[in-house]
């Protein structure tokens, strides 16, 4: 990506296809995983599958379970254990989405009405709890204590990241270090665990487990940095996507921290008024976007994402070349190429 571009189309050719390539590579397993997800979100309490279907079946990218499926394949796993564990990963992810939307008071999720907007906050909290418990039941059925250790640790780290995000919200004194801690918790921990589990089911040496963990962690950070840049992107706005959610909530993300640290005193006053005091008027989001352009905040956030992406790619070097390694490498480009 050319440094001068403000998150303009500059992705490597074919980055959009990388997800399709990965999906094609594990197509049967992904189908089996989706079937299992639908099967195991059932309950005699009808509201549970109703609400779960809304979010589970509403078609996310299944990025995290795809990591588990592809990593297991990369590591030569020949059984079917990775299918159920990929479903666990998606259940944990879905549970955190449900709770996130309650916490963020979001009205939309993936362009549709969010579960909390449609069903209310209360069932969203409780169905999140159910899916979380169901994830652990699936892991217990798989029977691997190392897998249980990895995913229970990830679940605790996610919650820590979410609480830290809440604690730093509306606080312009937040440091980059704290921001990264939030990102590592709320996003990267599950990416890392999802990939790592692939090596564990294949019974591969510790070095490969660590490599997949590093791949997932760096990919997850890159993914979140790009997400945080997209929330201020004029190009996204032009495409009809929602921008400005983080701004309205006063979330302190890297684009904000960069614009803030590079801004004049008057500009710093603007950020404090809008994010800390949450005193926002018409034109403020536009001004925030302008300040980010002036200070190259989005460009440099994506630049930073790219360096985490590079670290993710390096981590894959311990594995022999092949379609799985290429597909996982392609996902790095896919995540970063969204920033256009």
Using CB under 8 A, list all residues that contact a copy of itself. 43-48, 95-96, 99, 102-103, 121-123, 125-130, 132-134, 136-137, 139-140, 143, 145, 148-149, 152-153, 155-156, 158-160, 162-164, 166-167
Q: Which is nearer to a copy of itself, 46 or 266 (CB)?
A: 46
Query: Cβ of residue 189: shortest distance to a copy of itself, in angstroms?
Result: 11
Q: Which is nearer to a copy of itself, 169 or 224 (CB)?
A: 169
Q: Which is nearer to a copy of itself, 95 or 305 (CB)?
A: 95
Buried b (16+ CB within 10 A) or exposed e, 54-66: bbbeeebebbbbb
Q: Which is nearer to a copy of itself, 107 or 317 (CB)?
A: 107
Q: Which is nearer to a copy of itself, 134 or 340 (CB)?
A: 134
CA distance 212 to 209: 5
Q: Which is nearer to a copy of itself, 116 or 236 (CB)?
A: 116
Q: Which is nearer to a copy of itself, 26 or 127 (CB)?
A: 127
Query: Cβ of residue 248: shortest distance to a copy of itself, in angstroms?
Result: 16
Half-sphere exposure at residue 293, Cβ-oriented, CA atoms within 13 angstroms: 13
Query: Cβ of residue 139: shortest distance to a copy of itself, in angstroms?
Result: 8
Q: Which is nearer to a copy of itself, 149 or 207 (CB)?
A: 149
CA distance 159 to 139: 19
SS (H, E, C) the chain: CCCCCCCCCCCCCCHHHHHHHHHHHCHHHHHHHHHHHHHHCCCCCCHHHHHHHHHHCCCCCCHHHHHHHHHHHHCCCCCCHHHHHHHHHHHHHHHHHHHHHHHHCCCEECCEECHHHHHCHHHHHHHHHHHHHHHHHHHHHHCCHHHHHHHHHHHHHHHHHHHHHHHHCCCCCCCHHHHHHHHHHHHHHHHHHHHHHHHHHCCCCHHHHHHHHHHHHHHHHHHHHHHHHHCCCHHHHHCCCCCCHHHHHCCCCHHHHHHHHHCCHHHHHHHHHHHHCCCCCCCHHHHHHHHHHHCCHHHHHHHHHHHHHHHHHHHHHHCCCCHHHHHHHHHHHHHHHCCC
Query: Cβ of residue 255: shortest distance to a copy of itself, in angstroms?
Result: 23
Q: Which is nearer to a copy of itself, 164 or 291 (CB)?
A: 164
CA distance 64 to 78: 20
In the chain, the N- to C-terminal Cα span, in Å, equals: 10
Query: Cβ of residue 291: shortest distance to a copy of itself, in angstroms?
Result: 28
Query: Cβ of residue 100: shortest distance to a copy of itself, in angstroms?
Result: 9
Query: Cβ of residue 39: shortest distance to a copy of itself, in angstroms?
Result: 14
Query: Cβ of residue 136: shortest distance to a copy of itself, in angstroms?
Result: 4
Query: Cβ of residue 272: shortest distance to a copy of itself, in angstroms?
Result: 22
């Amino acid at each position: 990506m050319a440094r001068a571009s403000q998150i303009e189309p500059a992705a490597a050719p074919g980055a959009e296809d990388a997800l399709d390539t990965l999906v094609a590579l594990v197509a049967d397993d992904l189908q089996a995983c989706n079937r299992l997800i639908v099967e195991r979100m059932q309950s005699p309490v009808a509201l549970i599958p109703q609400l779960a279907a809304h979010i589970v079946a509403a078609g996310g990218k299944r990025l995290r379970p795809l990591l588990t499926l592809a990593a297991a394949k990369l590591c030569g796993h020949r059984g079917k254990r990775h299918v159920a564990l990929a479903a666990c990963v998606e259940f944990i992810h879905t549970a955190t989405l449900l709770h996130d939307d309650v916490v963020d008071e979001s009205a939309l999720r993936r362009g549709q009405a969010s579960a909390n907007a449609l069903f209310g906050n209360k069932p969203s909290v409780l169905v999140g709890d159910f899916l979380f418990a169901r994830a652990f039941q699936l892991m217990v059925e798989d029977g691997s204590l190392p897998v249980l250790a990895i995913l229970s640790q990830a679940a605790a780290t996610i919650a820590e990241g979410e609480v830290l995000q809440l604690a730093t919200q509306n606080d312009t004194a937040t440091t980059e270090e704290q921001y990264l801690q939030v990102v590592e918790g709320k996003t990267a921990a599950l990416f890392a665990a999802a990939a790592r589990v692939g090596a564990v089911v294949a019974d591969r040496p510790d070095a490969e487990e660590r490599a997949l963990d590093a791949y997932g962690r760096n990919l997850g950070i890159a993914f979140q940095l790009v997400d945080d840049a997209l929330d201020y992107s004029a190009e996204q706005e032009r495409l009809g996507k929602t921008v400005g959610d983080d701004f309205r909530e006063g979330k302190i993300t890297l684009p904000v921290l960069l614009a803030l640290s590079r801004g004049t005193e008057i500009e710093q006053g603007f950020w404090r008024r809008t994010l800390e005091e949450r005193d926002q008027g018409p034109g403020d989001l536009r001004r925030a976007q302008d300040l980010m352009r002036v200070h190259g905040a989005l460009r440099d956030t994506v630049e930073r994402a790219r360096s985490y992406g590079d670290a993710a790619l390096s981590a894959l070097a311990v594995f022999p070349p092949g379609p799985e390694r290429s597909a996982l490498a392609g996902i790095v480009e896919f995540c970063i190429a969204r920033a256009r």
